[in-house]
Amino acid sequence: MKEIRVRAWDNVENKMYYLGEEEDIHFYFDGSGIMAERLIDIEECTPEGDRGIYGSVEKLEHLKYMLSTGLKDNAPEEAQPMEIFANDILLNPVSNEYYIVTWDEHYANFFLKNREVNDPSKEDYDFVDFDGDSLYVVGNIYENPELLIG
pLDDT given at position 1: 59
Q: What is the pLDDT of residues 96-105, one digit of tens each?
A: 888 899 988 8
Instruction: State which of 15, 46, 64 marks the end of a domain.
Output: 64
pLDDT given at position 20: 82
Torsion, Cα 116 122 128 132, to 10 degrees, reads -70
pLDDT given at position 90: 92
In a domain, 129, yes or no: yes
In a domain, 1, yes or no: no
d(CA 65, CA 72) in angstroms, rounded, equals 19
Do 74 and 91 form a contact (C-beta atoms < 8 A)?
A: no
Among 9-13, 29-33, 61-65, 124-128, where is mean pLDDT lowest?
124-128
Do 86 and 69 form a contact (C-beta atoms < 8 A)?
A: yes
pLDDT band at 85 (very low <50, low <70, confident <90, very high): very high
Q: What are phi and psi of 147, to 5 degrees?
A: -75, -15
pTM: 0.79
Instruction: State which of 16, 39, 64 marks the end of a domain.
Output: 64
In a domain, 79, yes or no: yes
